[in-house]
Structure 1
Amino acid sequence: MIRQAKPDDAAAIREIAEASYARYVPRIGRRPAPMDADVDAQIGQGVLYVYDDGKPLGYIAFWPEGGAMVLDAVGVAPEASGRGIGKALIGFCEAEAAKLGLDRISLYTNAKMTENLSMYPHLGYVETHRMVQDGFDRVFFEKPVQPRSTSTDPTE
């Protein structure tokens, strides 16, 4: 189940961020931004969600900004990797964007997180540009939001 994060989830979210992003430190040469995110502030702002299966196994941070939903970070506990949790979290973000009537999801990843450079296009995201930002070599992606159907006719 995906639910909004609560203050008592903060330690688990930090552990997931540490474990899921640690492999990128040698590639990037420093800690990726999600490892140092202010989890308490994000929980307080209501922008952090967890995949809870008795305990948090993954998290996602996102918020609306302009006409887009900004997908800031996704992390999955290593022991839960390969179970579709990351994809479910991203799908949840996309559904929330549709509920709000936003027109796109925007995100960035580090250029050295090469797995993401193929994963996001596989999920329908299109690279829009690259730039160095806050000292990180970032690759930006967008995906149009699929409008929610308002029809109650099951044949449509």
Structure 2
Amino acid sequence: MTITNKDPAIRRANLQDVNALKQCIDRAYAPVKKRLSGLPDVSAGLESEIIKNVVYVAETDEIIIGCAVLAVDGELAQLVNIAVDPKYGGRGAGRKLIEVIETHARDMGAIEIQLATHVGMPENVALYAHLGWSEIGRSGNKVRMSKPI
């Protein structure tokens, strides 16, 4: 497989993407699962997510390298999951996915977007804070964050 430096393309996911999405998410979370026990199966239920929520994929050379799952309920949106295959990190896929889901949420009438990350992933908390998110609470192993959009 040849890996290029092309910018990733962003599009809506469809049910034919489920297997590739699962593989991408599992690769993205593999390093974290090695150091944190008890993480849920974050790639479970993708069919349902595609049907009931909004799922975007990032592609390079027709290979899914990342994804974001968004749920919108009125003025509040939830970034359910975002994952980028570490093999393709540093190409802007995560940044582009976040921009797209923020725009989508805003277009659907949301004024705020929230997410939850694991307390054992302080690099995520720092990254989201750098991107304008604020911590709004902690409960158990979850750190909840919010961003006005």
The TM-score with structure 1 as length reference comes to 0.84
Q: Give yes or no for the alignment of 1:90 onto 2:98.
A: yes
Letter in 2 for 1:6: N
Q: Which runs of 4+ in 1 moved over 4 A?
A: none
Give the partner amino acid of 1:52.
E
Q: Percent of aligned pairs with the same residue?
A: 31
- Counterpart secondary structure, 2:42: helix
Match of 1:140 in 2: 144
Does the alignment pair 1:3 with 2:11? yes
Displacement of 1:55 in angstroms is 2.0
- Of stretches 47-56 and 116-125 in structure 1, the one that deviates more from structure 2 is 47-56
Alignment of 1:34-49 (within 5 A): 34-35=42-43, 37-49=44-56
Task: Provide Cα deviations, 1:17-71, integer angstroms capped at 9, x if missing partner.
Answer: 1110111113321234424x30111122242111122221110000102421100
Matched AA of 1:84: G
Which amino acid counterpart does residue 119 of structure 1 have in structure 2?
A: L
Equivalent residues of 2:133, 2:145 under 8 A apart: yes
Could you tell me which residue of structure 1 aligns to residue 4 of structure 2? none
- Structure 2 unaligned residues grouped into runs of 5+: 1-8
Q: Give, in whole Å, the separation in 1 of the partners of 2:76 and 2:86.
A: 30
Q: Could you give the per-residue CA deviations for residues 103-123 of structure 1, whole angstroms, max 9, x where no partner exists? A: 111001000112101000000
Could you tell me how far apart the structure 1 residues matched to 2:86 and 2:35 are? 18
User: Could you tell me the TM-score, scaled by structure 2's length?
Assistant: 0.87
CA distance in 2, matches of 1:140, 1:46: 20
Gaps of 5+ in 1: 146-156
Return the alpha-carbon distance in structure 2 between the equivalents of residues 31 and 141 of structure 1.
18
**Equivalent residues, number:** 140
Within 5 A, what are the aligned runs for 1:3-152?
3-35=11-43, 37-53=44-60, 54-132=62-140, 137-145=141-149
